[in-house]
Amino acid sequence: MTETTRPAHRVSVIGTGAIGGAVARRLLAAGHEVTVWNRTASRSAGLVEAGALPAGSPGEAASSATLILLTLTDYAAVLRCLAEPDADLSGRTIVVMCTGTAGDARQAARRVAALGADYLDAGVQASPETIGTDAATILYSGSRPAFERHLTTLGALSRPHFVGDTPEAAAIWDLALFGVWYDAQLGLLRALDTVREAGIDLTEFSHTAAVQLGHVVTAVPATVSELLRADYPAGPADLTGHLTVVRHLIGLRSDRRLGDGGLPAAAARIEELIADRRGGEGLTATIG
């Protein structure tokens, strides 16, 4: 975690829910002058007691700081809070910290540019309790000069990680990471649902499932290296072998309440590669 070594900055936190509240508390603890605004004023009363300055509107909060963090449910709420038509926020940096799509981030960046401010999008890979610890990662993209200007302040919240100069890079990275989790967790749930129905002991099965998930984790560096080298060697199975198993799985998962996890599309891609005489390659070839 980066310690505050430069003079404290005036920071505004717009939206003091779970993440925003934790962010504001951490900034206060790091010695910053923090202004807060929340739609439901009572939700920021504790922060005001702890030393934050209350603002009467999002516009007032934005104009009272050089660094403005919007920690709101979604980008629709962000656009509502940035709606004051003739506001001039030039010289300020606006950081949008919420989960959303690439299109959401680009739209927010356009609005922020119209207000004259620099834009940073932030993907929060952290729970409120981890804000301010090394367990928190926050991904930033957009204006690199603004990121560098506020690095010390942002470093009080998490390990700051600049992931790209486009406004949407952090949103894409953040969502892709959530996708890794959902794919793995829903894959596990599909398996548990199936084996339970077959009368298989769930606890015994879970030990073997944990080993299987471990194989995915262990293979991450090798998979990336294959992509970087554009070389896709077969592992324990080649694409022809994979196709057989994937088709069995499609059968096993047919009519299940969590669906088939997109396996038919993967099978179609593997068939395409086999037709192209690439059946001896490994699974990474599907995106090579």
Ligand X SMILES: NC(=O)c1ccc[n+]([C@@H]2O[C@H](COP(=O)([O-])OP(=O)(O)OC[C@H]3O[C@@H](n4cnc5c(N)ncnc54)[C@H](OP(=O)(O)O)[C@@H]3O)[C@@H](O)[C@H]2O)c1
Q: How many residues does the chain have?
A: 288
Comparing CA positions, the residue from 228, 173, 185, 174 lying closest to residue 210 is: 185
Smaller CB separation from ligand X, 69 or 191: 69
**40 lies in the binding site for ligand X (CB under 6 A):** yes
Q: Phi then psi for 125, rounded to 5 degrees?
A: -100, 70
Residues 6+ positions from 260 with CB-CB distance below 8 Å: 249, 250, 253, 254
Q: How far is the CB of 258 from ligand X (least distance, A)?
A: 22
Q: How far is the CB of 38 from ligand X (least distance, A)?
A: 5
Q: What six digits make up the tokens of 269?
A: 């891609």
Smaller CB separation from ligand X, 80 or 215: 80
Q: How far is the CB of 167 from ligand X (least distance, A)?
A: 16
Smaller CB separation from ligand X, 99 or 240: 99
Smaller CB separation from ligand X, 77 or 274: 77
Cβ atoms of 10 and 33 closer than 8 Å: yes
**128 lies in the binding site for ligand X (CB under 6 A):** yes
Site string for ligand X, 191-230 (x = CB under 6 A): ----------------------------------------
Q: How far is the CB of 80 from ligand X (least distance, A)?
A: 5
Site residue total, ligand X (CB under 6 A): 22
User: In the set 2, 33, 43, 137, which binds ligand X (CB under 6 A)?
Assistant: 43
- The CA dihedral of 98, 118, 155, 128, to the nearest 10 degrees, is -20
**39 lies in the binding site for ligand X (CB under 6 A):** yes
Q: How far is the CB of 1 from ligand X (least distance, A)?
A: 18
| Spatial distance between the Cα atoms of 193 and 155, rounded to a whole number of angstroms | 42
* DSSP states along 159-203: EEEEEESSTTHHHHHHHHHHHHHHHHHHHHHHHHHHHHHTT--HH
Site string for ligand X, 93-112 (x = CB under 6 A): -----xx-------------
Smaller CB separation from ligand X, 170 or 270: 170
CA 20 to chain centre: 16
| Spatial distance between the Cα atoms of 53 and 256, rounded to a whole number of angstroms | 53
Largest distance between two CA atoms of the chain: 69
**135 lies in the binding site for ligand X (CB under 6 A):** no
User: In the set 12, 16, 93, 153, which binds ligand X (CB under 6 A)?
Assistant: 16
Residues of span 65-84 touching ligand X by CB under 6 A: 71-74, 77, 80-81
Q: Phi then psi for 164, rounded to 5 degrees?
A: 165, 155
Given the rule CB under 6 A, which residues bind ligand X? 15-20, 38-40, 43, 71-74, 77, 80-81, 98-99, 124, 127-128
